[in-house]
Structure 1
Amino acid sequence: MKKITFIRPLLFTGISLLVLNSCTLLSAAGLNDKGLSNKEASEEIVSTTANSEVNVDHSAWDKLLKKHVNSDGLVDYKGFQADRTALDSYITMLSNHQPSDKWSVQEQLAYYINTYNAYTVKLILENYPVKSIKDIKGAWTKDMVKIGNVQISLGGIENSILRKMNEPRIHFAINCASISCPKLMNEAYTAAKINEQLEKATTQFINSDKNDLSENSPKFSSIFDWYRKDFRDSDQTVIDYINKYAETKISDTATLNYKDYNWNLNEQK
């Protein structure tokens, strides 16, 4: 698949931004990778730790996820709050490891996905209790993520780093703390398992109730609308992409319709 530069539904006029059906109110700063290294993925990613100068230890995050996230991807934020010391320690470790070109694409993908998800949990905890991440000012535009000497926003990581890596499955790995988002996996992403983890996340999301799959009248998650150019190229449509994973195959003549997005917090009850 060719490299994609589409930004979540935005139209640019001079320096102003017109936001269309977007959950992310991105500022100009949010569209900048701040010089952080991000490698473009090849067509086939092989899970391995053998091709990187650095192998980051995400076991602390894995332990927290297994403890506070259930199999449905719902989060025990009160439990996370009680483990803030462990979460903050992991985030500090991430901040002290700035990716470089000597890292493999596998290490970079795992690092940026885990960083996005860990900082999203941190953001919710800092504003808890909260009904929706959309109630938090600057949730995706504030430069709240510290990586080395760089401060970057969650929107910057998503749109200027992960999406530039030419791996559309990242959309099902990063979690925006909402019911309609792909679920937060209860395990950390690692270079040793990255391909299998991305395949699992994508397959589970496409075949979940986040989409209504049928041959002729499907209704898809709005993710496939907001990021439609990430899933298609000259040889592939959005339906082609979905059909690679869908248990119910969609007709290539079906109309693309999208479900309303539920932004309520993905909290365990």
Structure 2
Amino acid sequence: MNTQVGRIYSSIKRGAALACMMLILPFTSLAVTDFDHAYTQYDALLKDAVHYSPNKKQTRVDYQQLVIKQPTMSAVQSRFSSVTQAQFDGWSEAQQLSFLINAYNFFTLQLIVDNWSDFKLGKVDSIRDLGSLFSSPWKLNFFNMLGKKRNLDDIEHEMIRKGFKEPRIHAALVCAAVSCPPLRNDAFVADDLDEQLDSQMRLFLADNSRNEIITQGQSGKVYLSSIFKWYQEDFEKGDGGFDSLYEVLTYYIDALVQGDNDQQAQRNVIKQDDFPIMFKDYDWRLNDVANF
């Protein structure tokens, strides 16, 4: 009789345990799969810390503000780091690319915040100073993402450039330098990604400190950001409809001449299709508000 009671008791325990698991699993599943593709917290951080220049063509970051908001930074980092590879694989291409661009830009901000005391003390002036003789700052494995310890080069070169045929990402990824494209004050989101990438290209090319056309009578030269030199091959593969930098400049001619006094002369230079392209020196100073 005692044996029978014991079996009944064990059966009840197993049933109760199973019932508890059935109740818990939906909430566990929700916690694993529910990701905020609007990037609400990250978006709020950007709106607080990213400031536009008077001409709206450049931005700088108030890193001191991000230091003050370190608890929110930590929460955002946790959200990026908690995404699993399986979860990521189940997203649409636009969701994946938005996530990777946002992650790259956020972890770049985090790298600067983590070393902010050294910047304030004048020990370092640029993100490049955060590396070593044996490793660049873009190869520092300082964050977890998709289940592995990662670095910034992993995101840009291994995940984005190899996984997506989208040259416009070079106007969206921001490496914390003055000559970088302007960091948006909002997050990239899947529903608006194409429009956001296009506006980034236009904004980047419209800034004469980064890209400009110099006319010389009926001819002229184009001076582009070194980004177009470093990643020229990405604009020559046919991706996005571009087979050359000349095609990029033709497509975005309105942005290139925006606000300039000799717009028609500049347009005539681009129409010639054989103008020389030069590349500007890169300003690696930190894109902090102090360097506006």
> Does the pair score TM above 0.5?
yes
User: Which residue is equivalent to 1:218?
Assistant: 222
Q: Give, in angstroms, the shift of residue 148 of structure 1.
A: 3.4
Q: Give, in angstroms, the shift of residue 254 of structure 1.
A: 0.8
**TM-score scaled by structure 2?**
0.71
Query: Larger deviation: 73-82 or 148-157?
Result: 148-157
Query: Larger deviation: 226-235 or 81-90?
Result: 226-235
User: Which residue is equivalent to 2:27?
Assistant: none
Contact kept, 8 Å, 2:81 with 2:146, in 1: the verdict is yes
- 1:7-46 equivalences under 5 Å are none
SS in 1 for 2:51: coil
User: Which residue is equivalent to 1:98?
Assistant: 84
- 1:233-252 equivalences under 5 Å are 233=237, 236-247=243-254, 248=257, 249=267, 250=270, 251-252=272-273
**1:2-56: CA deviations, max 9, x gaps?**
xxxxxxxxxxxxxxxxxxxxxxxxxxxxxxxxxxxxxxxxxxxxxxxxxx99663
Query: Larger deviation: 157-166 or 249-258?
Result: 249-258
The separation in 1 between residues aligned to 2:82 and 2:67, in whole angstroms, is 23
- 1:130-209 equivalences under 5 Å are 130-137=124-131, 138-164=136-162, 165-209=164-208
The separation in 2 between residues aligned to 1:214 and 1:207, in whole angstroms, is 14
Q: How many residues align?
A: 218
Query: Post-superposition, which runs of at least 4 consecutive aligned residues in structure 1 deviate over 6 A?
Result: none
Amino acid at match of 1:196: E
Asked if 1:67 is matched to 2:88, the reply is no
Amino acid at match of 1:245: Y
Contact kept, 8 Å, 2:205 with 2:212, in 1: the verdict is no
The separation in 2 between residues aligned to 1:150 and 1:56, in whole angstroms, is 21
Q: Give, in angstroms, the shift of residue 145 of structure 1.
A: 2.8
Residue 56 (structure 1) aligned to one of 31, 37, 40: 37
Q: Give, in angstroms, the shift of residue 245 of structure 1.
A: 1.3
Q: Give, in angstroms, the shift of residue 189 of structure 1.
A: 0.6
- 1:73-88 equivalences under 5 Å are 73-88=59-74
Evaluate the alpha carbon distance shift between residue 95 and residue 169 of structure 1 in structure 2; reply closer, same or farther with a 3 A threshold.
Answer: same
Residue 110 (structure 2) aligned to one of 118, 122, 131: 122
**TM-score scaled by structure 1?**
0.77
**1:193-229: CA deviations, max 9, x gaps?**
1111101101100111211224621111001100001
User: Which residue is equivalent to 1:232?
Assistant: 236
User: Which residue is equivalent to 1:255?
Assistant: 276
The separation in 1 between residues aligned to 2:222 and 2:129, in whole angstroms, is 31
Structure number with the bigger relative contact order (C-alpha 8 A, sep ≥ 6) is 1
Q: Give, in angstroms, the shift of residue 246 of structure 1.
A: 2.5
Contact kept, 8 Å, 1:225 with 1:258, in 2: the verdict is yes
Which stretches in structure 1 are left out of the alignment for 5+ residues? 1-51
The separation in 2 between residues aligned to 1:260 and 1:83, in whole angstroms, is 34
> Once the two structures are aligned, what percentage of the paired residues are identical?
32
The separation in 2 between residues aligned to 1:256 and 1:205, in whole angstroms, is 17
Give the RMSD, CA atoms, in angstroms: 1.9
The separation in 1 between residues aligned to 2:190 and 2:37, in whole angstroms, is 9
Higher gyration radius (CA): 2
Contact kept, 8 Å, 1:94 with 1:147, in 2: the verdict is yes
Which stretches in structure 2 are left out of the alignment for 5+ residues? 1-32, 53-57, 258-266
